[in-house]
A and B are shown apart, each in its own frame.
Chain A
Amino acid sequence: MADRMPIKVSVSSSDGVVVVAPEGEIGYHEAPAFRIFLRQGFDQKPRRMVTDLAGVSYMSTPGVATLVEALQLSKKLSIPLVLCGMNERVLAIFEIARLHTVFKIVADREEALRA
């Protein structure tokens, strides 16, 4: 199978807040590309990082692990990380892994930008 970026991710910045918004499924195949975009977001040294998951229909543990790495990096760099837009299926894996209390999770991007 030809190698190409397996996931579409938009990265935008406004008022010192970087928003990383992946689309589609984030599984074992897609997580490494997602990680690259998250690191690019942190490289901009924003005052806050928002990961908008509204376009994510499915996530497995490699996707979750990528976000745990991002959380660790956010603490190291003192850049707050906010997750938003999770559908109930994506939220379920965070709950099963008992990570829903570890992340700051809000309903949508608007709330994340205010958080």
Chain B
Amino acid sequence: MAVVRRGKGFGRMSDKPDLLLEMVANPAYLCGAREMINQIAKRVGFPDSQACQIALAVDEALINVIRHGYDKDPDGRIWVAVTPLAATGEGVEGLRVVIQDEGRQVDPASIRGRSLDDIRPGGLGVHIIREVMDEVLYEKRHDVGSHGDLGMRLSMVKRLPNDAAPGSACGPGCSAGTCGTSEGLKQNG
């Protein structure tokens, strides 16, 4: 995995994620994962509409892991790592989300979205992911780490639009003045 560049105020140089969610492959928990991504994306500075689409891409990726990686076995484990990408100067350039599992491995080249000309249910997830995110990389996991040495890794990057204004909508219950701006991440990084 590439080392993530960290800018001023973002703490130590590390390829470790800022946030790591470990979840079981139970669809009931998808709502929590996508809400987490949505809120973080807004705080990084993505407009509400893009934050929602990033959450959608992550949701679709998790659905694919549950369906295809674990064949709907709810005991499978999934790791969602989230790290803001530091810009060349100060601030945030975007968001990196890495999803890892210990499920069935497939040839990354075989993971393609289907033709949209075929109007039928299903098979849209990969298309959504590739359409929404700027970088999408599927890999077989071979590293021997705390999560075992099997499964797949999906690395996704979404960059902030050049004209992105800091997100304006704080989540329910949020009273912090810095919510919805990258300032909060700088201070807390």
Chain A residues within CB distance 8 Å of chain B: 1, 6, 25, 27-29, 58, 60-62, 64-66, 68-69, 72, 88-89, 92-93, 96-99, 102
Contact = CB atoms under 8 A, between A and B. Distances in A.
8 contacts: A27-B31, A27-B59, A28-B27, A28-B63, A29-B27, A72-B120, A92-B49, A93-B56
B150 interface: no
A88 B48 CA distance: 11
Nearest to A32: B27
Contact of A69 (B63, B121, B127): B121
Given A27-B34, A93-B128, A96-B128, A68 B121 contact: yes
A8 to B, nearest CB: 14
B49 A102 contact: no
Contact of B116 (A6, A62, A92, A97): A97
Interface in B50-98: 52-53, 56, 59-60, 63, 66-67
Nearest to B132: A96
A28 B30 CA distance: 8
A98 B34 contact: no
B50 to A, nearest CB: 10
A97 to B, nearest CB: 5
Interface size band for B: 20 to 34
Nearest to A24: B31
Interface of B: 26-31, 34, 49, 52-53, 56, 59-60, 63, 66-67, 116, 119-122, 124-125, 127-128, 131-132
Contacts of B28: 1, 6, 29
Contacts of B56: 58, 60, 93
B121 A97 contact: no
B127 A97 contact: yes
The 4 closest A-B pairs by CB, nearest first: A65-B121, A29-B27, A61-B124, A68-B121
A29 to B, nearest CB: 4
A99 B119 contact: yes
A60 B60 contact: yes
B124 A97 contact: yes
